Amino acid sequence: MIARQLERFVQEQMIATRIPGLSLVLLRGDEVAARHFGFADLVRREPPAGSTRYGIGSVTKVFTAVAVLQLVQEGALSLDDEVARHLPDEARAFGDATVAHLLAHASGLPALGWSETKMSSSWFMDGFPVGGFADLATFMDGAEAWNTAAPGERWQYSNEAYILLGRLIEVLDGVPYARSLERRVLAPLGMQRSTFERDVVAADGDRVQPYMHDEHGRLQAGENLYGAMPAAGGLVSTADDMARFARFLMDGRAHDGAALLEARSLERMAASDVAIDPPSPFDHLPLWADPVRVNGAGLQRHVGVLGHDVWAHGGGVMGGTAYVAVIPEVRLGVVVLANAHGYPLAQLALVALGSMLGAAPEDFPFVRRQRLLERAAGSYASWAGTIRADLVPSGWGLELRLAFEPRGRGVPLVLLEHDDERDVTRFLTLGGGRPGSAEIRYTDDGPVLVYERYALRRRGETPR
């Protein structure tokens, strides 16, 4: 079920973006196939396995959403309830936003950055001294003045919202969040190696070491956050356990067949509550025709992926990264776990789903963009070598670094289109305080960069 082309693609991206270890699981109906790549730990240099524990970051939010929807089914609350009705002290900053608004990241309150301080090693005390929910409520006091939209109007990803939802679960269930999730979700699904407990993971030799890239691209040891933000990103799981969870997302049932979520609740998780991606001037360009994304009550829906809608969520905390995606209508699913940030796991998951649907990686616009940028990158020179420049891959596309310009004054080149007939790639440039254009013409003598008054031929690979 895992095609060789897919294995090559995964390994290629791991090498390019320096991911030490990765686990990939594909599900088709009742069939499950797994492939584990690289190393769980660069010191022990042992490969990961299906039982190896990874931090799954914000995929934890999907578990939180499941518990909230179970409480709705039980009549303990409504998705239309204002959160402040149940948490009058902690949720003041969310005003009249409802439970549904928080689940969809559409409360109107922007992300306040508290969780980012938890993940930053640059703070002198490793983040703000915000421990429990009372501290978070104090930290957020007065933040309602920062609202940027009415509830339900705009998508703004919020860890704070899900931390409050975790508190809501505690209040309604009368037990700590982790214990509630164990009873409601983990135990019924047979996810026996999934835990929120730091000591349990620390004592287990079958776990990955998460890694972060420093400013020079070198790998440094990271760490799961556990209790720092449990409902928003604290769960540690395994490929085997997450395969069980992915299957649950297709039908709402536990491993013994019991229904944990009704069909309407499961569908509500991926409903179209709010658009994630704002309109872009590139939307009409084929190279930027990525699936439209919307957010429901806990899951994102990628609309029109090879003729199907994909329900998905990703996560990444301090080097532990994860992605789960399913197409319930055809019972296909994928789980990706990695021990470092690097190639976007959302894109890798879509390529994996595409592989099961008979598609090649290049059938996705984001892969075509990547291939065009890789093809164009390199060192260029003008006639007689009088002008030299490097085209270096960057987050927006390519950066043109002219040798005669001061370091740090590179010109961004944003990919626009590729003319297959003429074999020419065109870019929008942002240099000199105004937009412009550039193109790369592929000739028998090699690529030629045409930029402003210059023509430069590629002379070698981009210096590392």
Q: What H or E segment, with its residue span, contains residue 451? A: strand 446-451
pLDDT at 122 over 50: no
The pLDDT tens digits for 147-201 are 899 999 999 999 999 999 999 999 999 999 999 999 999 999 999 999 999 999 9
The packing angle between helices 60-73 and 239-251, to 10°, is 40
Phi-psi category of residue 238: left, alpha or beta, with phi > 0 → left and psi -120 to 50 → alpha = beta
Mean pLDDT of the chain: 93
What is the average per-residue pLDDT within 233-249?
98
pLDDT band at 124 (very low <50, low <70, confident <90, very high): very low
Q: Which of 97-106, 133-142, 272-281 has the lowest mean pLDDT?
A: 133-142
Which residue, among 271, 282, 262, has the nearest Cα to 70 in the 3D structure?
Answer: 262
The pLDDT tens digits for 300-324 are 999 999 999 999 999 998 899 999 9
Q: How many residues does the chain have?
A: 464
Residues 6 or more apart from 44 whose CB is under 8 A from it? none
pLDDT band at 226 (very low <50, low <70, confident <90, very high): confident
Which residue, among 243, 160, 130, 241, has the nearest Cα to 195 in the 3D structure?
Answer: 241
Cα–Cα distance list, 169 to 162, 175, 178, 442, 460 (Å): 10, 8, 10, 59, 58
pLDDT at 239 over 60: yes
d(CA 278, CA 296): 16
d(CA 194, CA 294): 28
pLDDT band at 118 (very low <50, low <70, confident <90, very high): low
pLDDT at 457 over 70: yes
pLDDT at 117 over 70: no
The pLDDT tens digits for 322-360 are 999 999 999 999 999 999 999 999 999 999 999 999 999
Percent of the chain with pLDDT over 70: 95
Which residue, among 43, 42, 40, 44, has the nearest Cα to 52 in the 3D structure?
Answer: 40
d(CA 67, CA 51): 24
Domains, the chain, with CATH or none: 4-360 (3.40.710.10), 377-460 (2.40.128.210)
pLDDT at 121 over 50: no
What is the average per-residue pLDDT within 255-259?
90
Hey, which of 138-147, 357-366, 404-413 has the most confident mean pLDDT? 357-366
The pLDDT tens digits for 37-91 are 999 999 999 999 999 999 999 999 999 999 999 999 999 999 999 999 999 988 9
d(CA 460, CA 447): 11
The pLDDT tens digits for 1-39 are 899 999 999 999 999 999 999 999 999 999 999 999 999
Q: What's the pTM?
A: 0.94
What is the average per-residue pLDDT within 220-228?
82
Q: Tell me how many helices (H) and strands (E) the chain has.
A: 14, 20
Which residue, among 316, 362, 354, 246, has the nearest Cα to 22 in the 3D structure?
Answer: 316
pLDDT at 256 over 70: yes
Q: Which residue has the tokens 């149940």?
A: 86
pLDDT at 240 over 50: yes
